[in-house]
Amino acid sequence: MATFNPTEFLGWFKKAGGWYNEKYLGLKPFDGMGYGAVALESIPEDTPLFHIPDSLILSPFTSDLSQKLTPEEWERLDHGWCKLILVMMWESERGPESKWSGYLSNMPREFDTPMMWDEDERKDLKGTDIEDRIGKEEAEKEYTEYLLPVIKAHPELFPSSSPHHTLSSFHLQGSRILSRSFTVPSSRFTNLSKDQDDDESHFSDDDDEDQIAVMIPFADMLNAAFERDNANLYTDEEVAPGAANGGAPGDEKEFTMKATKSIEKDEQIYNTYASPPNSELLRKYGHVDILPLPSDLLELLTEEEVGGWGYGNPGDEVLIDGEMVLQCVRKGEDDEKWEKAMKKRIDWWLDEGQEDMFPLSLSSEIDDSLIAFIRLLLYDQEWLRAKKKGKLPTTAMDNDVAGVIVRAVESRLSRYDGDIQSDLDVIRSLPIDHIPRPTSSTALPSDIPDEAKQVNTTALRKCYAAIVRLGEKRILNLALRSARAQINRKRKAED
Ligand SMILES: C[S@@+](CC[C@H](N)C(=O)[O-])C[C@H]1O[C@@H](n2cnc3c(N)ncnc32)[C@H](O)[C@@H]1O
């Protein structure tokens, strides 16, 4: 992250039409977090911190790249983040001529997400929810299939000698999008051109449904940590007229970052990344959240699971795959007829807008939708009622449901190589103060000398992977205990 130059970035931002609250907000490095925003004075709640006109958002709609390609070429790029990545490559290629030059030249060039780990390091993620979601091979296929043909066909836009559109540049831009983009309705941009074109014919209602990833300069300078957010990004409809810019709103649409609480001088200004579990934090951003776990959560764990290390991410989750649940419902050798019957039920479930991945969290309650899904597969009565009334199955836990949960969780646990003890050994090999984690004004307690905080990258990656595994195993063990307790309760009642 050493490429960031705050003076250059802020100068570019203002010149390009953005506004920020110079009285209250500064940018400075935070240990283990790269740069972030800091309160220069005590900030009252609701204070606008900066705002970004829509035209300053870097997106396939705001860049001119689409006009340099044929409509067919542009259409063919309509795949995942292909358009945005190519736009970022081309705008980087243009250097100072690009409207986003001061933004792109100040973006990080190095990432610590598992996508960038070597094969050995990635093995530490075996069994976790990240294991199958890194997607390196799929991403590279996307580069070869969709981007490379356009890049090769347009040497005037993408000169062959340039470093800006190689495979490694593709990974760089992809990592930037993964960790810094915002999702907005595409109608925001299509309506923009609608107003300009004064032609409504080619805008359908469906446009409102589409969400696209875009890069919002400055908004992506804020770090985040579990339940520490004190600022939020608002669209203009959500901001009172005249609040932004400290005065009259501009003619153009814009996004505004506002303080959602009063913020003390020198405190870090945090946005929210929606408190994802550590597996998602690591996959997307390359870090994990560790906090001292509150006593009510610690009480749910055994002494062995806490292991003298009472930290974790209270927002942790493990996903149980519907396919695995189906296999656990299967009793012995089922035939083709059974498969077909189950497929019907699962199709119905999905048509009802339900997910087929079920989150378990650090709680003794089992997710209602997992129970309902199991009941749908287990009981013909539930299926007939569901189909007839168009209602989801009930969410009552009984012995058979608990039995399926036990089998599914045991099967999920068997995917890891080691046990909780081995994870704790890796984690405890690093002093807690050497693992980046947020305090209010700096990332690490300031009385630790800088040299002592230096941790080698491999050791930190190993530790992050172990923290993800530990968080998941704690949750799975807890779910196992809850389901077994249900079975025991029933047995006792029967006795
Ligand atoms: C949206 S950017 C925030 C700005 C970034 N720190 C920078 O210097 O450009 C997200 C990245 O910031 C870092 N980050 C954010 N919150 C963090 C946290 N709680 N702990 C460690 N790193 C964090 C991670 O590297 C993440 O990928």
pLDDT tens digit at each of 495 positions of the chain: 447 999 999 999 999 999 999 999 999 999 889 999 999 999 999 999 999 999 999 999 999 999 999 999 999 999 999 999 999 999 999 999 999 999 999 999 999 899 999 999 999 999 999 998 988 889 999 999 999 999 999 999 999 999 999 999 999 999 999 999 999 998 888 865 444 443 333 333 344 458 999 999 999 999 999 889 999 999 976 665 444 444 445 567 899 999 999 999 999 999 988 889 999 999 999 999 999 999 999 999 999 999 999 999 999 999 999 999 999 998 776 688 899 999 999 999 999 999 999 999 999 999 999 999 999 999 999 999 999 999 999 999 999 999 999 999 999 999 999 999 999 999 999 888 778 776 543 333 444 445 545 668 889 999 999 999 999 999 999 999 999 998 888 777 777
Q: Is 1 in the pocket of ligand 1 (CB under 6 A)?
A: yes
Task: Say whether both 428 and 480 belong to one domain.
Answer: yes
Q: Is 27 in the pocket of ligand 1 (CB under 6 A)?
A: no
Name the residue of 27, 282, 287 to mutate for ligand 1: max ligand atoms within 8 A of Cβ: 287
> Which residues constitute the domain of residue 205?
6-269
How buried is residue 490: exposed, middle or buried, by Cβ count under 10 Å (0-12/13-18/19+)?
Answer: middle
What DSSP state is assigned to residue 461?
H
Task: Say whether both 367 and 459 belong to one domain.
Answer: yes
Task: Say whether both 341 and 418 belong to one domain.
Answer: yes
**Each residue of 406-455: pLDDT tens digit?**
999 999 999 999 999 999 999 999 888 778 776 543 333 444 445 545 66
19: CA distance to ligand 1 center in Å?
22
Which domain CATH number covers 108?
Answer: 3.90.1410.10
At residue 493, the pLDDT reads 77
The string of DSSP letters for 162-190 reads -GGGSHHHHHHHHHHHHHH-EEEETHHHH
Confirm whether 137 is domain-assigned: yes
The whole-angstrom separation of Cα 344 and Cα 377 is 10
Backbone angles phi, psi at 359, to 5 degrees: -85, 130
Q: Are strands 211-214 and 182-185 parallel, antiparallel or unpaired?
A: antiparallel
The whole-angstrom separation of Cα 291 and Cα 435 is 11
Task: Say whether both 361 and 452 belong to one domain.
Answer: yes
CB 114 within 8 Å of CB 282: yes
Which domain CATH number covers 455?
Answer: 3.90.1420.10
Q: Is 225 in the pocket of ligand 1 (CB under 6 A)?
A: yes
Confirm whether 279 is domain-assigned: no
At residue 200, the pLDDT reads 33
Confirm whether 455 is domain-assigned: yes
Out of 236, 269, 302, pick the residue that ends a domain.
269
Does pTM top 0.95 for this prediction? no
The whole-angstrom separation of Cα 264 and Cα 260 is 13
Any bridge partners for residue 183, and if so which?
A: 213
Task: Say whether both 401 and 491 belong to one domain.
Answer: yes
Q: Is 223 in the pocket of ligand 1 (CB under 6 A)?
A: yes
The whole-angstrom separation of Cα 325 and Cα 398 is 16
Give me the long-range contacts of 418-423 (CB less than 8 A, separation at least 24): 418/469, 419/473, 420/304, 420/305, 420/307, 420/470, 420/473, 420/474, 420/477, 421/304, 421/307, 423/466, 423/467, 423/469, 423/470, 423/473
Domain count, the chain: 2
Protein residue closest via CA to atom 24 of ligand 1:
285
Q: Nearest-CA neighbor of 490 among 397, 406, 409, 410?
A: 397
The whole-angstrom separation of Cα 342 and Cα 15 is 60
ipTM above 0.90, yes or no: yes
Confirm whether 1 is domain-assigned: no
Q: Is 217 in the pocket of ligand 1 (CB under 6 A)?
A: no
Out of 240, 269, 298, pick the residue that ends a domain.
269
Task: Say whether both 214 and 309 belong to one domain.
Answer: no
The whole-angstrom separation of Cα 60 and Cα 75 is 12
Task: Say whether both 459 and 329 belong to one domain.
Answer: yes
CB 444 within 8 Å of CB 433: yes
Task: Say whether both 300 and 254 belong to one domain.
Answer: no
Out of 269, 300, 330, pick the residue that ends a domain.
269
Q: Nearest-CA neighbor of 180 among 208, 215, 223, 211?
A: 215
Confirm whether 230 is domain-assigned: yes
285: CA distance to ligand 1 center in Å?
7
Confirm whether 281 is domain-assigned: no
Task: Say whether both 251 and 313 belong to one domain.
Answer: no
Residue with tokens 């292909």: 82
Q: What number does the ligand 1 atom closest to the CA of 112 have?
A: 25
419: CA distance to ligand 1 center in Å?
30
244: CA distance to ligand 1 center in Å?
25
Task: Say whether both 392 and 304 belong to one domain.
Answer: yes
DSSP helix/strand/coil, 50:
strand
**Each residue of 238-276: pLDDT tens digit?**
665 444 444 445 567 899 999 999 999 999 999 988 889
Q: Is 436 in the pocket of ligand 1 (CB under 6 A)?
A: yes
Confirm whether 276 is domain-assigned: no
Task: Say whether both 226 and 295 belong to one domain.
Answer: no
Q: Is 471 in the pocket of ligand 1 (CB under 6 A)?
A: no
